[in-house]
Structure 1
């Protein structure tokens, strides 16, 4: 197969080929660029191109950089034998063809110079092991020793060598198999999937940072539940996220049973994913019921209960984020907040709910209230269409209430109109418990609707509260 037409729009590929000819090197485009070219897939990173040459990739990169006649950013990584050129929106990576061998206790390979075939053999999957020649003599010729084109047509993820060898050598490839299946909506070939199961425990030698990098790509796929089901069945998920595995299963006592919270969580994740690409909102969907196993109780009258799972889940969030090497910053706090609040909006459906309850939710959720409502809507997973319709109509009602109160009171993200510094200045106080109490009581009065959210009313209340506590204004 010749792909000259397909690579014609990419002038930079032709330039690299000309530089390789000038150096007398065999050179090829390899990897994801070739795969996505054949799939006609517009990857977000389509302008990242990997080049392999039989010889020194660093030498070829330097020749390409020099060919532009002006300085272009060239990064050389001698320890890895690779180089990278950043050119406008292109990112070009160069490496010499190599063969690899592995020790059992490490995924870091022993690397030696190799042939193109040996380089292709070391790659993870057949669909990533294809190469296109860019030398003038055979420009555009596809080198496909493992039938990658056929696997693309069959929508299959398959290893080029025995899967036990591929996965034992570098266990991260098992997560990559699931990630590519999720991103491309491919199946994992049965023998390859069996290899995942046999080698799942090898994942323990992989760093948490590398694992979470692949997991986040699975979460950002169009239908992330597919990837999670593959992770679960292969036992890969058990190696790094047992808290999520614990959600699976149904307990019954007599005729009372609860839903399978693992598959419910996956449905919520898919539902959220139809409305947003926000990774952290998707993580909130994953985490929203994470504490149900820990809070599960059986009550003879009402059946199974999970009281307090939202608060317990919020407390579990930092520990899980830390263990999974997720960021311990505002993104974690955002997920924690949504987990803690995810049951609150449905409690506002009742017509007798006061504005103060809505104000309090707005105050606690702040700018994330819209994302909270997306999560709440996604949490409706009943198979009864009438019930789904009723719940979603209730959330419409809640959103109208939120909008009405916000337009009237402006309490989303509000800060009490009187600061602690002002209280200390007016009454000549030092930082103390009484200052915090005055500030808190003013905030509560606004949230309860006792005063409006403005400075004049807050100051008047402050003087009344201070007088009741025996505090007088500082004399000038």
Structure 2
């Protein structure tokens, strides 16, 4: 468990952050108090303050109704917005002491749910306790009175924070019935905070897993992204698989838990995939990249083609063409989850190419092989480097060392050739217009065939000058006549 403070440390963290943001909250608190309204710092802001992680986004809840809140915020800062007014939320930006604070103030809520959708019938409440009980988890159901600095924790969130436990303020059955997306959020918080999910919460997630089907795919995708982009998503992914939730929106992942045959002729594909994801995240950091959803989806899903392609051939188990099959499966699944087309295309391409290196791993890389590898990877080359390196999970130290050195050799060869040639944009020295001029032909199939011939020569032999390219083209054309 990472970063869980003791009660004393948590309280000290909170006081330090309250002092840091005092110029903002004191002024805001004075405005609301003078107007006869309560104002509390609430939810994630309190949790993060207790953990010592409070940033520049501040969440408040108030007894004031939205119109009153908006009028008060206009007196606090010239930059406000009411896009969330229907849900009781008014936003603002405030610059103080060279820091820009993003502030959201929401009226106490006492929503009701119809049980058929996760959209609440918005209702405003009258008390902070009533507002907090409708929140997702106890660690997000704490508040601090801006005026008195009184800590409000009716559901034991501080103790759960100190214990590193995810629980719900009301019963998990009521909480998840109201909003099934909270089940995915539990997995995300488990990974983000390094917390354990309480047994009764896990049971409710298991029993109510099918309720996730009333949630829009866009919201599911957003939660899945949030989980995958944490530093350690394994715990949350395991929770989603073990409770059966993953079966309802990404069934290809639990399907990786292939039964091991009696001779253990293949590794556990599910555990292997999680390890590849762990290693891809480590490589992202080591190579200086920000968290990348394409890298992480590709790492998690690179072997989804194995279950449908598994065959036993004598004493061996095979997964022929699982790269191609997997790319098609992932394309279909990510479309169903409404991922952007660019993300889908990139993830599918990486999965299709993730075995390409192994065709060369045991031998020397010729210049033509390096050119083809770079050409096929295109814009995904750096991501392919990460995925291919991460895909080595063997416990055989000698084999792991050989694979690592082989890939280092490949990257070195790519850099070496890139210094001599324009590898990132490999194309023939003659374009379509030049081909037509030299051969005296009109646009058509033959122009494309000539282009492919010159491209193949470029890949195999490297760059040539324009005159040599012209002679090659004329010789090829003469041989066709």
TM-score (norm 2): 0.90
Deviation at residue 151 of structure 1 after TM alignment: 0.7
**Match status 1:96 vs 2:107:** yes
| Aligned 8 A contact 1:409 1:453 in 2 | no
Deviation at residue 367 of structure 1 after TM alignment: 4.0
**Match status 1:173 vs 2:187:** no
| Aligned 8 A contact 2:38 2:63 in 1 | yes
| Aligned 8 A contact 1:126 1:160 in 2 | yes
User: CA deviation digits over 1:7-49, x for unaligned, max 9?
Assistant: 121122222211101211011111111100000025xxx2221
SS of the aligned residue for 2:20 comes to: coil
Deviation at residue 454 of structure 1 after TM alignment: 4.5
Question: Which of the numbers 473, 476, 480 marks the counterpart of 1:462?
Answer: 473
| Aligned 8 A contact 1:19 1:63 in 2 | yes
Structure-1 residue corresponding to 2:271: 263
User: CA deviation digits over 1:221-263, x for unaligned, max 9?
Assistant: 11111111111111111111111111112341x5353212111
| Aligned 8 A contact 1:73 1:87 in 2 | no
Structure-2 residue corresponding to 1:32: 44
Moved more, 436-445 or 413-422: 413-422
| Aligned 8 A contact 1:348 1:398 in 2 | no
| Aligned 8 A contact 1:58 1:94 in 2 | no
Inter-CA distance 458–100: structure 2 relative to 1 (3 Å threshold): same
**Match status 1:348 vs 2:360:** yes
SS of the aligned residue for 1:51 comes to: strand
| Aligned 8 A contact 1:28 1:52 in 2 | yes
SS of the aligned residue for 2:86 comes to: coil
Deviation at residue 279 of structure 1 after TM alignment: 1.7
Moved more, 48-57 or 432-441: 48-57
Structure-1 residue corresponding to 2:61: 52
Aligned mates of 1:176, 1:359 — CA distance in 2: 44
Structure-2 residue corresponding to 1:323: 336
Aligned mates of 1:56, 1:211 — CA distance in 2: 31
Inter-CA distance 241–463: structure 2 relative to 1 (3 Å threshold): same
Aligned mates of 1:5, 1:445 — CA distance in 2: 67
Structure-1 residue corresponding to 2:165: 156
| Aligned 8 A contact 1:19 1:60 in 2 | no
**Match status 1:299 vs 2:313:** yes
| Aligned 8 A contact 1:318 1:328 in 2 | no
**Match status 1:392 vs 2:395:** no
SS of the aligned residue for 2:123 comes to: strand
| Aligned 8 A contact 2:227 2:236 in 1 | yes
Residue correspondence of structure 1 range 26-425 to structure 2 within 5 A: 26-41=38-53, 46-68=55-77, 71-87=78-94, 89-114=100-125, 115-135=127-147, 138=148, 140-252=149-261, 255-276=263-284, 277-301=291-315, 303-329=316-342, 331-425=343-437
Question: Which of the numbers 459, 463, 470 marks the counterpart of 1:452?
Answer: 463
| Aligned 8 A contact 2:335 2:344 in 1 | no
Aligned mates of 1:353, 1:67 — CA distance in 2: 65
TM-score (norm 1): 0.91
Structure-1 residue corresponding to 2:5: none
| Aligned 8 A contact 2:73 2:80 in 1 | no
Aligned mates of 2:336, 2:180 — CA distance in 1: 19
Deviation at residue 361 of structure 1 after TM alignment: 0.6
SS of the aligned residue for 1:98 comes to: coil
SS of the aligned residue for 1:29 comes to: strand
SS of the aligned residue for 1:231 comes to: helix
Aligned mates of 2:46, 2:32 — CA distance in 1: 19
Large movers: runs of 4+ above 4 Å = 1-5
Aligned mates of 2:217, 2:423 — CA distance in 1: 40
Question: Which blocks of at least 5 consecutive residues in structure 2 are unaligned?
Answer: 1-10, 285-290
Inter-CA distance 291–453: structure 2 relative to 1 (3 Å threshold): farther
How many residue pairs get aligned? The number is 458
